[in-house]
Structure formats: C-alpha cells, structure tokens
C-alpha cells in the first residue's frame, strides 16, 4: 500500500467525481444563519436542524434580534434538536458576542470564532470553509472514521486529525476534501456496515485490504 501522501490525491480525485457538489447539508442564507445552524447541529442531524431553523430565523433573523431574545422562547424553537437549553443559551450568548465585539457580523478568524459560546474548531472550520473560502479541514465523526480507515492518519483526537490531514494536502483542497470525505462517510463508508464491495476506494484502502475482524466504530 502506498504512503498516505501519494494515496490522498487519488482518493480526492475519485471522491470528487462521485460527489461533484459536496455542499454542507445545512440550509442557510447568510453567515449568521450558518453559524447558528452549526451550533445547533451538535449531537443531532443536519435534517433536524433544517427543520427548526426556518422558524428560528423568522423570529430572530439576525444577531441583533437573537441577542435580545428570551431564553424560553428560543428553547421552544430549538427543542427538537436536543440539548435545547444549552443550545438556546449558546446561540443567544453568541449573538450577544457578535453584537458586542464584531459589530453584528460573523468573524473570519479561527480564534475569534472559537471564542463564541458553543463554537469548537469543527464548527469554526465549517464557517471558514463555506463562508470565507479559507482552507478548512472539518473533522466530524464521519470524517474521523473514514480518514482513519483509509490509513491517512492514526490519530484519534480531532485536533490532531485536522493537523495531520492538513499536512498531507495543499490548502486549496482542504475544504472540498473534508466535504467529499464527509459525503462518503454518509454514503458508503458507514459506521457499522461499510459498503466496501461497492466502494471506489477499496483498492486504496488498508482497512478493506486487511479485512479486520472487528468493525471500527465511530
């Protein structure tokens, strides 16, 4: 099996053809909506988030209005996404910080973004990659599982995975690579029963060629 650096571009090319339009599945119309949607997406599905955000953004269309919202009102709007008390608290506090520190806008830096309540590196990278076209390795559970199976990293900590993958690829490919790997994790490289037989990467995948007896979970 070739080294990760020589396989990763082949993997990228194959997945790019398979997933030609790998946009985030979250619905948004502006940076504020993407930022709030990403915070709400913790521990739930994008579909669940997309179900609540039309109502949320109708009531609170921007940072100014959300910063003044009552906690209970926001809780009711985001309840079905789970952890709704903490999420409501985080998005109101984030909106206040946007208003107080950033003039109501979503900042374009990793440090500023990760200072917002409820925003970790993964969420910040989603915003940086999709809104600001910055190189962003977006490490979620799908991404972690797939890149580890593909032998592109052995790391387990998201931040270490992010750094190791970033070193293997030119920056201009980071965001799109993240998205095609994410799509592949939802499509074929599933957590419990990956569809290796129909996977276009199986000749490049050490996990498949070694045929492990135990399925690697997320």
End-to-end CA distance of the chain: 24
- Minimum gap (Å) between residue 113 Cβ and ligand SF4: 30
- Which CB, 104 or 200, lies closer to ligand SF4? 200
Question: Annotated binding residue at 84?
Answer: no
- Minimum gap (Å) between residue 155 Cβ and ligand SF4: 17
- Which CB, 5 or 29, lies closer to ligand SF4? 5
- Which CB, 50 or 202, lies closer to ligand SF4? 202
Tokens representing residue 83 in the block? 């952890």
Distance, CA of 27 to CA of 119 (rounded, Å): 18
Catalytic residue of the set 87, 100, 122, 195: 122
Nearest CA among 175, 68, 85 for reference residue 131: 175
Planar angle of CA 168, 172, 173, nearest 5 degrees: 55
Tokens representing residue 161 in the block? 């995975």
Residue 82: half-sphere exposure toward Cβ, Cα within 13 Å:
9
Catalytic residue of the set 17, 87, 89, 140: 140
Residue 3: half-sphere exposure toward Cβ, Cα within 13 Å:
3
- Minimum gap (Å) between residue 193 Cβ and ligand SF4: 10
Token pair 């135990």: residue: 214
Question: Annotated binding residue at 105?
Answer: no
Question: Annotated binding residue at 186?
Answer: no
Nearest CA among 49, 43, 54, 60 for reference residue 24: 49
The answer to whether residue 187 is catalytic is no
The answer to whether residue 163 is catalytic is no
Contact residues toward ligand SF4 (CB under 6 A) are 149-150, 188-189, 194-196, 199, 201-202, 205, 207-208
- Minimum gap (Å) between residue 187 Cβ and ligand SF4: 9
Question: Annotated binding residue at 128?
Answer: no
Distance, CA of 113 to CA of 95 (rounded, Å): 12
- Which CB, 23 or 211, lies closer to ligand SF4? 211
Binding residues: 189, 196, 199, 205
Q: Which residues are catalytic?
A: 122, 140
Binding residues for [4Fe-4S] cluster: 189, 196, 199, 205
């Amino acid at each position: 099996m070739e080294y990760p650096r020589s396989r990763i571009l082949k993997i990228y090319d194959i997945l790019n053809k398979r997933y030609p339009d790998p946009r985030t599945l979250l619905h948004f119309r502006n940076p504020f909506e993407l930022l709030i949607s990403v915070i709400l997406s913790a521990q739930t599905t994008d579909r669940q988030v997309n179900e609540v955000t039309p109502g949320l953004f109708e009531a609170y269309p921007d940072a100014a209005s959300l910063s003044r919202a009552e906690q209970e009102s926001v809780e009711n709007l985001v309840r079905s996404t789970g952890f709704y008390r903490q999420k409501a608290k985080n998005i109101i506090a984030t909106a206040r910080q946007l208003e107080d520190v950033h003039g109501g806008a979503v900042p374009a830096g990793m440090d500023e973004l990760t200072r917002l309540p409820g925003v970790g590196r993964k969420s910040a990278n989603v915003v940086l990659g999709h809104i600001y076209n910055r190189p962003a390795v977006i490490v979620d559970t799908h991404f972690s599982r797939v890149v580890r199976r593909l032998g592109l990293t052995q790391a387990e900590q998201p931040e270490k995975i992010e750094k190791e993958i970033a070193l293997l690829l030119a920056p201009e490919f980071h965001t799109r690579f993240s998205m095609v790997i994410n799509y592949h994790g939802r499509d074929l490289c599933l957590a419990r029963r990956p569809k290796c037989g129909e996977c276009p990467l199986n000749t490049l995948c050490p996990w498949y060629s070694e045929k492990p007896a135990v399925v690697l979970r997320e």
